[in-house]
Amino acid sequence: MSNVTVLPFIAEIFSRVGFVCTCLFNAILIYLTAFKTERITGAYKYLIILFSLICISFSCLEVLAHPYLHNYNGGFIYFSLNDYLGASNDLLKFFIEAYSGAYASIMCMVAVQFVFRFATLMNRKTLLSSFSGFNFVIWILYPLFFCITFGMMVHYCAQPEPYSDDYMKKELFRVYNLEIEKTARFIVIAYNADGSVRWFNLVFLFGAMIILGFQYAVIIYCGIQMQRKMKKELKNFSVSNRKLQQQFFKALVVQITLPTVLFHLPALPVLFSPFFDVKFTFQTGFIYAVFSLYPPIETVAFMLIVSEYSNIFKKSVNRRPSAPDVRQKRVSDISIL
C-alpha cells in the first residue's frame, strides 16, 4: 500500500477513534458536572457542559464530512473523502462548512472560559453579571456567531470554479484517484493565470486568521492578567477555593496549548504557502486527523487536573460493599434451627 492510500486511511482511523473517545469522555464529563460535582456550580457548570456539547458536535461533523486537505503548488483543495454515506456533494459540502464552523466555536469557547475565569478571579462584577440569568445567552450566541461566520466564509470565498478545478484536477486524480467533478470540495488558489491575486480566496484566509487571532488576543490578555495578579487576588478565596481556581487556570492553559501545538502551528505555514508560490505537493489533511484527538485529550486532561473530578473517581473506586455481620448471621442461623 503506497503513501497515497496509507495517509487518508490512517487519518480515517484517527477520526473514528477521536469520535468514539470524544463522545465517551465528554458524556462522562457532562454527567459528572451536571449531577456529581459539588463545588462547580452556576455559570461555569454550564460553560463546561456547553463546551463538551460543542466538542461532541465537532467530532460528529468530522465523521460525516471526513475532511481532508491537499496542498499543490499555489493552492490547496479542501475536500471530503466520505464514500460510505452515499450523500450528495451538496450535503457533504454542507458538512465541511459546518465542521469548519464547529472548529471556530471550539476556539471561541476556550476564549469565553478564559473571560469567565478572568472575571471571577479579578472580581469584575459587571462582566460576571453577563454570565448570570438570561444574560448567559450572550455567551451561547458568541460561539454561534463565529461558527456561522466561519462556515459562510468557506461557502462563499472558497467555492470551486472552472479555473480552480482545472488547476487541481490532475493532482487530485493522481494522488487520490478522484474525479474532481464528483468530489465535494472547496479550493483556494493564490493567483490567477495572469498572476493577479484571487482576492476572494485571500479574504477567506485572512478572515479565518482574524477570527482565530481575536480569540487568541482575548486568551492572551486574560491569561497574562490572571498570571500577574493571581497571587494577590487568590488571597480573597478560601484555601480550598484557592486551590480549585489554580486548577481551573492550569486546565485552561492546557485547553489552548493543545490546539496550538497540534494544529495551528503546523497548519499556519502550509495554509499560507500558496501566496509564496512554493512548488510542492503535500497531503496536509493528516493535520486534521491529529486535531481530531484534541477534544478527548482535552477532556481527560481537564478531569485529571481539576481535583473535583478525580475525587469523584476515587470515591467510586474506594467504595466497597459493607462486610456481612457475622454475629447477626450466627444468631439468624441459630434462630432458624
Distances (CA, A) of 293 to 67, 90, 125, 155, 262: 15, 27, 36, 26, 9
Q: Please give the Cα distance from 95 to 67 (Å, whole number).
A: 9
Intra-chain end-to-end CA distance of the chain, in Å: 75
Given a cut of 80, whether residue 39 has pLDDT beyond it is yes
Burial bucket for residue 232 (CB in 10 Å: 0-12, 13-18, 19+): exposed
Cα–Cα distance for residue pair 89/184, rounded to 1 Å: 5
Q: Which residues partner with 76 through β-bridges?
A: 71, 188
Is it the case that residue 11 has pLDDT exceeding 90?
no
Q: Which residue has the cell 505537493?
A: 281
- The rounded distance, in Å, linking the Cα atoms of 277 and 228 is 43
Q: What is the pLDDT of residue 240?
A: 73
Residues with Cβ within 8 Å of 46's Cβ and at least 6 positions away in sequence, in order, are 136
Q: Which three cell numbers stand for residue 207?
A: 478572515
Residue 119: enclosing H or E segment and its boundaries?
A: helix 89-121
Task: Give the model's pLDDT for residue 337.
Answer: 29
User: What would the grid cell of residue 3 be?
Assistant: 503513501
Q: What is the mean pLDDT of the chain?
A: 88
Percentage, residues of the chain above pLDDT 90? 65
CA distances in angstroms from 86 to 65, 151, 182, 199, 285, listed in the order given:
12, 23, 12, 34, 21
Please name every residue paired with 198 in a beta bridge, in sequence order, or none if there are none: none
- All structural domains of the chain, each given as residue ranges with its CATH number in brackets, are 3-311 (1.20.1070.10)
pLDDT of residue 81: 92
Average pLDDT over residues 140-158: 96
Name beta bridge partners: 281: 72
Using alpha carbons only, how large is the chain's radius of gyration in Å? 25
Alpha helix locations (H) across 177-293? 199-234, 239-259, 265-272, 286-291
| For helices 3-31 and 42-65, angle between their N-to-C axes, nearest 10 degrees | 150
Q: Please tell me which residue, 241 or 50, carries the higher pLDDT value.
A: 50
The answer to whether the beta carbons of residues 38 and 308 sit under 8 Å apart is yes
Site of grid cell 508560490:
277
Over residues 86-95, the mean pLDDT reads 93
**pLDDT, tens digit, for every residue of 263-297?**
788 778 877 888 887 788 888 888 777 888 899 99
Is 123 within 8 Å of 236 (Cβ atoms)? yes
Q: Which value, to the nearest 10 degrees, does the dihedral of the CA atoms of residues 198, 202, 204, 207 take?
A: -150
- Residue 331: per-residue pLDDT: 37
Question: Strand, helix or coil at 188?
Answer: strand
More confident position, 279 or 240: 279
pLDDT digits (tens, 9 = 90+) for 220-233: 999 999 888 877 77
| Among 52, 41, 36, 50, residue whose Cα is nearest residue 310 | 36
* Contact criterion met (CB below 8 Å) for 198 and 283: no
The backbone torsions φ and ψ at residue 197, rounded to the nearest 5 degrees and listed phi first, read -75, 135
Measuring CA to CA, how many Å separate 51 from each of 57, 126, 186, 225? 10, 23, 28, 23
What is the DSSP pairing of strand 185-189 with strand 75-80? Answer: antiparallel
